[in-house]
Amino acid sequence: MQTKSITSITLVAPVILLVLFSLGGCASQEPRPDAALVRAKTAVDQATTAGSAQYAAMDLNNADAQLQMANDASSKGDYKQARYMAEDAESTAGLALAKTQAAKASEAAKQVQQGNQALQNQVSQPNSPPKL
């Protein structure tokens, strides 16, 4: 009787292992990161259009490099890495866009201050009546 149970175990064990490995392979398969790649590309494009090359060039270049690495990882089938890199690219592009918008707002505020100062100077000049 004991020989029969050992034989059963030696026959069933490989089948169980095969099933477990098969299920494990399915569980670790990442879905394609297409949506993350599109969001990252859109964010990089928005930062570029806003003028980040002038105001936040390093961040824009980093975002572009991260997007390229995400595309490379995706084409190699490393979807998990591709998703991480795409999310990093999106965040970095968002940072570049925020820095660009802040710099532009600062420039606009400076121009408004200069305009206010010019008006202040005109108002504070004494008015002399016209000579007849």
Q: What CATH number has the domain bearing residue 44? A: 1.20.1270
**Per-residue confidence (pLDDT) for residue 82, from 0 to 100:** 97
Residue 2 pLDDT > 60: no
User: Within a domain: residue 127?
Assistant: no
Pairwise pLDDT comparison (26 vs 84), residue with the higher score = 84
User: Within a domain: residue 75?
Assistant: yes
User: Within a domain: residue 129?
Assistant: no
- For 83, the domain range is 30-107
How many other CB atoms sit within 10 Å of the CB of residue 109?
A: 10
User: Within a domain: residue 68?
Assistant: yes
User: Within a domain: residue 47?
Assistant: yes
Residue 124's pLDDT band (cuts 50, 70, 90): confident
Angle between helices 57-75 and 79-124 (to 10 degrees): 160
pTM: 0.69
User: Within a domain: residue 11?
Assistant: no
Q: E strand or H helix at 70, and its extent?
A: helix 57-75
User: Within a domain: residue 92?
Assistant: yes
Name the domain count of the chain.
Answer: 1
pLDDT tens-digit map of 30-73: 899 999 999 999 999 999 999 999 999 999 999 999 999 999 99
